[in-house]
Every structure is written in structure tokens, then in C-alpha cells.
Amino acid sequence: MSEIWDLSNTDANNDDASFGFQENINPSAVNDNLRRILGALSRWYNDTNGTLVSAGSGSAYTLASPNRSLTTSYSDGLVMMFQAHTLCSNAATLAVGGKTAKTIYKQAGVTVSSSDIIQDQIVLVAYETGIDAWQMLSPVSGSGTAAAVGAKGADIASATTLVIGTDGDHFDITGTTTITGMTVAAGRRFTLQFDAVLTLTHGASLVLPTAANIATAAGDIAVFQAVAADSVRCISYTRANGKALDGVAASDANDFTGNQTFSASIDFPASELTIATGAVTVAKTQHTIDTEGDAASDDLDTLTASGVQDGAIVILRPENAARVVTVKHATGNIDLAGNADFVMNDAQASILLQYDLTATTWYEICRTPAASSGQILQYAYTEDLTRGISTTSTGATSTGVSIALGSTLASASAKVRIRVHTTVGSDANRRARFTLHDGSGLLTPTGMNAIGGSYIVNAGTFDSVSLEFVDTVSSTTPKTYTLYWFTNAGTLYLGEDSSGNYDMPIVMTAEELAV
């Protein structure tokens, strides 16, 4: 059967007896030849109008029954238009009419990639004998489904190499597995929303803002562009909390000139660094420092940093006051004021250092020293305003006045000082005794008027009472201290003044002292 490609561009050459018009053709043959030509036109039209539906697979499309009759090979310039029955794979081929399958190219020398042809897409191709392959004349899809653009695809479980779906261009990422790369066709732009905390690892095929890894948070959204097959660049990253990404590459450091006005506070969030063979690598303005292997003590002599700028500053403070870090002078690249080491042995200790690029040395600017012995770390106060308390008890009273510190103590060996002040009188020369209980036993008082915890009160007079107790604790949990009182005989009056009026309260204070 002759087809349209059998016709010649030269009119005079279209003189085939069965398909053209010879000179002096028999009139009875004219209608048959015209019908053959019209049939060839119809077959050409139906092979190029997109009504053919492919079969086979996404890697090997077939058009088993085209309308036109093909010779043993494809004609140069043969055009076919068909509806793809499924999504294509990388380097897909097309076989027409049982002939040999030929590779489909989307541009010179570049085969189609996964998702370039999607299900139900109309595909236009032309055969080129010079490359022995099909050239795709219709645009590639690169999306995966006809409805994928702007659509949300199925959730994707996090994986070391994340496979980007083809059922949309917006995906939720579940799970916490670290992502180091992605499988995706070139040219795709897609959005990922992270549902949990995981790490995106910066690298050659996964390029991230700030050239650093990103720790995601639930609700973070990132937009990626596939610059090549399986090679993506994050072009936008929005944190759920609205804050900017942590970290700025050294080459992107901000240089401020002139006066700058900041309308809000500037935060320097701290991150923990653990000493390794006397050194840590600083990456932020503030760090907490911990000992190697959580040892009881350790020395820090060297600060390293990648691309650190001249004049950069860093604040160091202990991660755990129970693990003592000593910043060493001139052992590594740290130079301290007074040519002496700095011991960070409580939570208040911190040191500010500045980097000198020429000297490659960190110099101390200032420090907040550890609390000195006896320094008050926290304080509590109470007073009992029930004036005119009287008792005839010769044993400890069942009720008393209590006080406790409100915060966890800085050390399990801290000292707590309790002070008591009141006045006392009696109806005769009596002896008043005060005791302080810490929940498990009695504390011995020291101070003015104290004689083994007893106070002599002269008949018909009053006396001022000032007591001091010091408790060496064995836990960081604050105790509750309760004051009790009793008399050896008669009636004891608390809060009586020199005029016999009951106007004086019982005052108690508690102080945690640095050791």
C-alpha cells in the first residue's frame, strides 16, 4: 500500500500507475487513484492527530497498529502523535508497527528522563535517520501527572536519598532520617514541608543556604530547584517560627558601616561544645563548654574555627558547673588577662574572647568570675506578724515559723545561712530556748545571746534575740527550715517590746552562700 511519503515533491514524478496519474490515463482509473491518495491522507492524519494510544511500558512504548503501512524501516521525517498510556522512564524508546524500538530524544543528544512524558500526555515525535532515533517535538512534562502542577503529592518518608514523587509538586516529609541527596528529574521545582526534626546535609548535589547543614523543625518549608538530574539547590527556606536560618558563611559576613539602629534585641543562642584533646571548634558567638567524656574536670587550650574573621568574638561558659573547665593561658591559642588560667566552676562563670587574625590568637576581653566564697547566691525572707505569741510549753512547740529557698542550689555541698531576729519577755526570770529543724534534725545556733541555744531573760524585762544557723547541705534540693521555741517554766512572750507591748514580729532570712 502506498503512503503519503511515496509522493514526490516534483509534480511530474507523481505518475505511478496505482498511486499517481500517468499521461493519457484511462478515465476509469482516475477515481481509484484519487481514492488511494485520499486514503493515504486520511491515514497520515489519523497517525498524527493524537488518537493513537501507546502500549508496552514506560521504558519501551509501542504503537502496534498504526494507520499507515510501514516499510522494513522508518522513513526519515516520519511523524507520529500518540497519547502516552503511562509515565515514561529514563531513556524510553518507541517502536511503531512492530519495527525496531528507537530511543526518544527530547533535544539533540539528550534522552528523555523519568517524568518527561506523563500518563495521558499527547506526544509528538519525528524519526531522524541521521541519529537513528525519535526526536520529541512536543514539550516535556517533568511533573508526573497531568494534574501535578500546583498539586500536593503523597507524603514522602524521609530517607538518606529522598525520592521526589511524580504525583505533585508539594510534599510533606515524614520521619527523622537524615537527608543527603534526592532523586528527581532535571528542571523540576518542588516544595517540601517537614513534619518532624531531621537534618538536611549540605553537599555538592544538595546545596543549602549558608552552605551549612540545616536542622529542620516541624512546619519548616523549603523550595528546591533540580539544576540537573538528582542535583538540587534549595532556593528558599522558611522556618515555622519565622526566624532566619542559623549560621552565616564566612564569605557572606555582614560588614556594617556608619551608625546602625536595631529596633529589637540581638540574640546569640548558645550551643554546646565538648572538649576533644584540649580543643573545641567554635561556630557561633556563644557556646557552653563541657568536659571530654563528661569527666569531672578538663582543660581547654585551643579554639579552632573555619573562616573566622579578624575581630570575631566568642562567649564561653560552662555546660555543667559540676564538671569544671579550666581555660588555659598560652598553652594553645588563648591569651588570658593576668597571664593566669581561668577556672569555670559554677554557672555564673563566663569569659569573652576576641580573635586576632594576624596573631592567630584569642585574647581575653573580660570575664565573669566564679562566685567567691561567702558570696550570697540566693536569698529568702519571711516574718511572722502574729505578734504577742505566748507559750508555757517546756518542750518544743507543735507549730513554728518556716522558711525555704526557692531555687535549686548551685552545689550539693553548698552552705545555707539562716538568721532569726525577734524579742522575748517572761513573767519571771525564765530561760527561753529556740531550736531550728531542717526536716531531719536540729541545727546548732551561733551568735549574740546564744548559750547552747538558750537565752536568759530577766524578770519583768525583755530581751532582743538574734540567732544564726549555718547548714552544710548534701543535696541541691532546698530544705525547709522551721523555728520552734519553748521555756523552762512559766510563760514566755514573743514579740514583746521594752514597753510591754506586743509589736515585734519574728523575722527569718535564708541565704545560699558560695563555697
Contact by Cβ (8 Å): 186, 228: yes
Would 445 be classed as within a structural domain? yes
pTM for the whole structure: 0.34
Q: Which three cell numbers stand for residue 323?
A: 564538671
Other CB atoms within 10 Å distance of the CB of residue 400: 18
* Same domain? 20 vs 74: no
Residue range 241-264, pLDDT digits in tens: 887 775 443 334 455 566 777 666
* Same domain? 364 vs 382: no
Would 403 be classed as within a structural domain? yes
Residue range 302-347, pLDDT digits in tens: 999 877 788 889 999 999 988 999 999 999 999 998 888 898 887 7
Would 150 be classed as within a structural domain? no
Residue range 98-143, pLDDT digits in tens: 899 999 998 767 888 888 898 999 999 999 998 899 999 988 875 4
Cα dihedral: 236, 242, 248, 254 (round 10): 100
Q: How large is the average pLDDT for residues 400-425?
A: 82
Contact by Cβ (8 Å): 482, 402: yes
Number of domains forming the structure of the chain: 5
* Same domain? 380 vs 363: no
Please give the residue range of the domain that contains residue 70.
Answer: 52-136
**DSSP conformation class of 332:** S
Contact by Cβ (8 Å): 467, 445: yes
Per-residue model confidence (pLDDT) at position 262: 67
* Same domain? 169 vs 215: yes
* Same domain? 93 vs 43: no
d(CA 169, CA 191) in angstroms, rounded, equals 6
* Same domain? 37 vs 63: no
Cα 340 to chain centroid distance, Å, stands at 38
Per-residue model confidence (pLDDT) at position 445: 65
Contact by Cβ (8 Å): 497, 387: no
* Same domain? 381 vs 487: yes
**Angle (CA) 385 391 397, round 5°:** 85
* Same domain? 411 vs 504: yes
Per-residue model confidence (pLDDT) at position 254: 55
The sign one gets for the Cα dihedral 73, 79, 83, 89 is: positive
Other CB atoms within 10 Å distance of the CB of residue 344: 26
Q: Select from 9, 7, 104, 107 the least CA-distant residue to 63.
A: 104
Contact by Cβ (8 Å): 314, 281: no
Would 392 be classed as within a structural domain? yes
Would 251 be classed as within a structural domain? no
Would 151 be classed as within a structural domain? no
d(CA 426, CA 492) in angstroms, rounded, equals 5
Other CB atoms within 10 Å distance of the CB of residue 276: 12
